[in-house]
Amino acid sequence: MTTSTASEPSAAAPLLDLQALVVAVRRRRRLWCSMALLGLLVGAALAVLMPPPPTAVTKVLVAHQADQPNDPGTLIRTDAALLHTTRIASRALQSLGSPEEPEDFMQDYGGIGLTNNLLQINVTGDSDAEAVARAKALADAFVADHVKRIQEAADAEAKTLLDQRDRMRDELAQVNKAIGDASPGSGPKASANMESLFARRAELTSRITDFGQRAAEARIGTPQLIAGTQIVDAPRAVRHSLPRTAVTNAGIGLVLGLVLGLAVAAVGAVVADRPVLRREIAANLGASVIAELRRTPRRPAGPWQRRRTRAARTRLTTTLARTVRGSAEPVSLLELGCARSTSVIALDLAGALEEEGPVVIIDGLPGLRLANRRPKPGDPTVVSGERAAAVSDQERRLGVGSVAPGAAWTDLQYLGTRTVLVVRAGHGSAAWLHTVARQLADQRIAVIGVVLIDPDPRDRTDGTLWDGLHTAPRGQNERPARQNGTGQPRTERPSWARVPDIDQEAR
């Protein structure tokens, strides 16, 4: 079993074409540039409309009894968490004489551990003076609470050691009494008993001395910890620079808006599945791209752009005129997303063909864009589709229509049995391009080629298909004339290439 060449590219196609995705995102630069600009403006506006409240900052050196050189910052994070408690908030509010609730006050300050022993306290208020007063009260409350906890811990440890020492003394008194009450017998058993009592008395005496020393050391270390916990940076108001804040917020907004815009553009490009590369459009339509043209601007362009656009239109007109002259059947231009550009191309092409004879443009565009326009001197004759039957055989017919959603497919035959598709890059989805190719094949309308409007200037992909005669870029549907029974040459209709449905594989 063999597979046709049409199925091989689809089988080898990647799940996500990064090149097409980059091109699609770049083509939607208006979206992500607008979102980046919006983020920049919003960030700058927030700095002006919502300035930061008055803030005061202070730093407290915190001494811990269990300080270690390799401490990962657990103790200072515990202090920062203890700072944000109702007990310390209540004491600070009491010193300030404020009736504010501790829970509300806790929303206006926070602590950050700068090092293992340095705590920074940030406090906001209605004014700089109030913020400074709040910061001082909060730092004093924290220092007092920390000192109290250190003193309580030292007292509890010393009390435990002294209680243990007192129990040892009571036991030592009992041992001394047992030694005094012992009889002066000289038997072996009495001697062993006395030796054990003396050994126990020596052990208890040593342990009593040890517990006393440990209790004294526990109390001796407390003053050092208390003296080491202090405010090392007095509370001061933080000065805010409006220009610097506006620039910072604008930069953050710009980055966030740009990232969000790029993400939206990428997701939209993947979901919409709108081909933008030449090779994708040619593969979906089953026809080669024979020319490219920039989109006709709605506003007047500059001299340099007008010169380049004029040169490109001249080249396109020459190519299409050569194609139309070599066709034995009527040719039409069918647009998809570029009615304005197609109208301009049709007028230029009709003007080039009028050198060989009269040309009539049959307007099948929605709204009769050409038939209802005000004619200029030298313009070709334009008639609507209803008057197409009145065109004589001596006049060359050039049909102009649309294959956009809602198009009347059965009317396209009367515009021309051979057509050039004028497609705007990124306008139609891959499914709709398949639909256009299938409908044209059903109507027995041969596609000569594709004119790509508004292509990506960095697109280097090949839009020419070489997997069959029906996809060649020149004369793909022309067959040599054969002699009929009368000896006169007879022109055959081309062999039509049926485009498979989207869900149907080409076999």
pLDDT tens column, 210-261: 888 877 776 666 777 788 889 999 999 988 888 898 999 999 999 999 999 9
Q: What is the mean pLDDT of residues 165-178?
A: 83
For the ranges 325-329, 346-350, 366-370, the one whose mean pLDDT is highest: 346-350
Q: Is the pLDDT score of 4 beyond 70?
A: no
What letter does residue 309 receive in the DSSP assignment? H
Bigger pLDDT: 390 vs 234: 234
CATH architecture for residues 273-490: 3-Layer(aba) Sandwich (3.40)
pLDDT on residue 234: 92
Instruction: Report the number of secondary-structure helices (H) and strands (E) in the chain.
Output: 13, 13
The 10 Å CB-count burial string (b at 16+, else e) for 429-456 is ebebbbbbbbbbbeeebbbbbbbbbbbb
* CATH hierarchy code of domain 55-239: 3.30.1890
Bigger pLDDT: 251 vs 209: 251
Per residue in 74-118, pLDDT (tens digit) is: 889 999 999 999 999 999 999 999 899 999 999 999 999 999 899
- Residue 65: pLDDT band with limits 50, 70, 90: confident
- Residue 34: pLDDT band with limits 50, 70, 90: very high
Per residue in 450-484, pLDDT (tens digit) is: 999 988 888 888 877 765 444 433 334 444 444 44
In DSSP notation, 464-505 reads: ---SSGGG-SSSTT----EE-TTS-EEPPPPPP-PPPPTTS-
Same fold for the domain at 55-239 and the one at 273-490? no
d(CA 69, CA 95): 36
Domain ranges (residues) in the chain: 27-51+243-268, 55-239, 273-490
